[in-house]
Chain A
Amino acid sequence: MATYYLNVPLMDEDVVQLKIGDLVYLSGPAFTCRSRLQRYIFDEKNKLPFSTEQRNLLIHVGPIIVRENNDWRLVSFTPTSSIRFEKWGAKSVKEWGLKAIVGKTTMGEETAQAMKEHKCVHLSPQSVSPNLWLDSIKIEDVYLFDELGTIEAAWHLQLDKFGPFVVDIDCEGNNYFEGIDTIVEANKKQAYKDLNIPADFKYTKLY
């Protein structure tokens, strides 16, 4: 397990070295997105109003941002669950040229496959620590604010050692959480015994 400090725009060589379980801190430009933005672009066929070429880091998040003295004040920020955006995951990686996605949980098989093909990783938090992240995030700009509202708009951020996040999908398509699944499944067998649940237990089918 290694720790990396990476700068955006991310290059292929930055992300292919990452292995599941590694920790990553990120600096440079990023943008935010959740489902309404992806639906607006991919389902409703609108054009993304900015280039992601130098901003190839996407963060799944619904921040709290308030307007104060003609400026934006970031109140709270924690990555939200990526898995619910699986429907648009592969498209986002491919069409936006992403090299990393930060989000809670993980992504599904289709996105992992796209990540393998296009050299992209998924990074997941191990803490819910908005106050430790606030100081490493500056708001640069916002797009689609009127169309999508404050939570789902595309915020442009400037990051300074934003992290740590664990690599949960690497460029080879490996998933960190599959390792945890194996441990949990193995431990469950003993747990069933401890709870007096017979090994051959079957529910009576009620519906």
Chain B
Amino acid sequence: MIKKEVLKNVVFDTIKKGSCCIPKDVREAFNSAIANEKTQKAKEGFGNTLKSLDLSIERMNPACPDTGWPLFFLKVGNEAKIEGGFMALEEIARNMVAKATKEGYLRATMKHPLTGYDPGTNVGMNIPHFTYKFVPGNDIEISYAAKGGGSECFGGTRYKMIAFADGLAGIKKFVIDAYAAAARAGAICPPAVLGVGIGGTGNIASALAKEAACLRLVGSHHPEEMMSQIEKDLYDSINSLGIGPMGSGGDTSVFSVNVEYAYTHIAGIAVALSSNCWIARRATTRVYSDGRTEELDNPNWFDGR
């Protein structure tokens, strides 16, 4: 049985780490970009951002003042037991989001969509949001993603239903066109970690794209050859465009292209993309059934897909 007291601490620390400390794989992507960029200006764009990100880890302040939509992804062991059940876990998560907001680890960004009412806590209707995945075992893995507003609002996240007749060419064209338009003038804070979802209903494709953007490591590949080839082709092509840091020109235009897919209806193919901004914030903690905890660099969300 996992105790509430343990979960309170774990959830709070995971939110704090997710907002303040960029993951190791993202940090590596910055180092590669600094090494590969040809102009001093582009090197500085990456370099100054990385300097600030490292200071955020040292000072434990948010990596960016837009601390985004609070999203929880829970990988739950089929036999996992929580004191008070999963509704207690969700209540703890809401309380910890409010606490992290009050203490300045999150900005009070979530508001009523029509009235603009700001509760000052980042807690409201359907927010924070929870996504579950069930796996064998009795541990739970809690991932927190701070999903930035820029990468969500300017066309970096959208979907299109295409005909079978349009096939792979239609999929690739949609992704590259949509990404280039969204990255214009740095709107989505490029180079993004780009998640692509293929197949399923519109919302299945969109959820896969979001999870691929927020939970897969930069530079990771889908285990199936056909999918990893699409990832490589899109990665190379987008990086030939010249978008650069914050859209100001450069050799690095996307950090990673992560593709996931679902079987689809004979009627058509949903294609979705979800861009995560270049500082791609997330943190994952595993909680064992005996209450031990372990911070993980990799959410391993798609293990077993």
Flag whether A51 is at the interface (Cβ < 8 A): no
**CB-based contact B65/A62 at 8 Å:** yes
Minimal beta-carbon separation of B105 from chain A (angstroms): 9
Flag whether A145 is at the interface (Cβ < 8 A): no
Flag whether B13 is at the interface (Cβ < 8 A): no
**CB-based contact A129/B52 at 8 Å:** yes
> Which residue of B has the minimal Cβ distance to A61?
B65
Given contact pairs A132-B51, A194-B233, A78 touches B243 in the complex (Cβ within 8 A): no
Minimal beta-carbon separation of A63 from chain B (angstroms): 6
Flag whether A207 is at the interface (Cβ < 8 A): yes
Contact count band on B: 35 or more
Give the interface segment out of A6-14, A90-98, A195-203: A195-203
Flag whether A166 is at the interface (Cβ < 8 A): yes
Given contact pairs A130-B64, A188-B180, A124 touches B240 in the complex (Cβ within 8 A): no
Given contact pairs A66-B104, A128-B52, A190 touches B240 in the complex (Cβ within 8 A): yes
Residues of B within 8 A of A180 (CB): 184-185, 242-244, 247-249
Given contact pairs A105-B186, A126-B41, A131-B59, A78 touches B66 in the complex (Cβ within 8 A): yes
Flag whether B79 is at the interface (Cβ < 8 A): no
Given contact pairs A76-B107, A177-B247, A168 touches B185 in the complex (Cβ within 8 A): yes
The CA-CA distance from A187 to B184 in the complex, in Å, is 14
> Which residue of A has the minimal Cβ distance to B164?
A204
**CB-based contact A187/B108 at 8 Å:** no
The CA-CA distance from A78 to B64 in the complex, in Å, is 7
Flag whether B28 is at the interface (Cβ < 8 A): no
- Contacting residue for A131 out of B51, B168, B248, B278, CB 8 A: B51
Task: Map CB proximity to A onto B253-297 as digits: 1 under 8 Å, 0 otherwise.
Answer: 000000000000000100000000111000000000000000000
Interface centre among B67, B161, B233, B237 (most CB of A within 10 A): B237
Task: Map CB proximity to B onto A166-206 as digits: 1 under 8 Å, 0 otherwise.
Answer: 10100000001101110110011011101111100101101
A-B contact pairs, 9 of them (CB 8 A): A76-B65, A80-B150, A83-B185, A124-B185, A127-B45, A130-B64, A131-B61, A188-B241, A192-B173
B→A interface (CB under 8 Å):
41, 44-49, 51-52, 55-56, 59, 61-67, 103-104, 107-109, 116, 118, 120, 150, 153-154, 161-163, 165-166, 168-170, 172-173, 176, 180, 184-187, 189, 233-234, 236-238, 240-249, 268, 277-279
